[in-house]
Amino acid sequence: MAHWYDGPAALRVGTDPRRIPLEVAASYRARTRGLLGRDGIDGAMLLTPAASVHTFRMRFAIDVAYLDRNLRVLDVVTMAPGRLGLPRLRARHVLEAAAGAMAGWGLTAGTTLEVDTP
């Protein structure tokens, strides 16, 4: 995708045909708000552009996947509330989901993602 916009989309992991609900946060305001103030998320949130995240004032633990410009997963970590994630070199996007969700989707380092927008 050449230009990202805030709003709903769908995520596909590797060759898995499932479409995971996705929220795209491309504006400064949407990226700053992220998952703050929520009790959970159904699906995932893509922060773009982003190279790091924090979980200060978050109510739940999250899985974080750092993605390169081609939506290839560089690293996946789980972060508890109140943590600061270090920036990752080559990361252009960050994908967030409830802790444990990414393992259930089979998302690991090296996996390539696809984003379908309406």
The pLDDT of residue 1 is: 52
The pLDDT of residue 36 is: 87
Query: Splitting the chain (118 residues) into consecutive groups of 10 residues, what average pLDDT does each group show?
Result: 86 93 96 91 96 93 97 97 94 97 96 93
Query: What string of H, E and C letters represents the secondary structure of 4-60?
Result: CCCEEEEEEECCCCCCEEEEEECCHHHHHHCCCCCCCCCCEEEECCCCCCECCCCCC
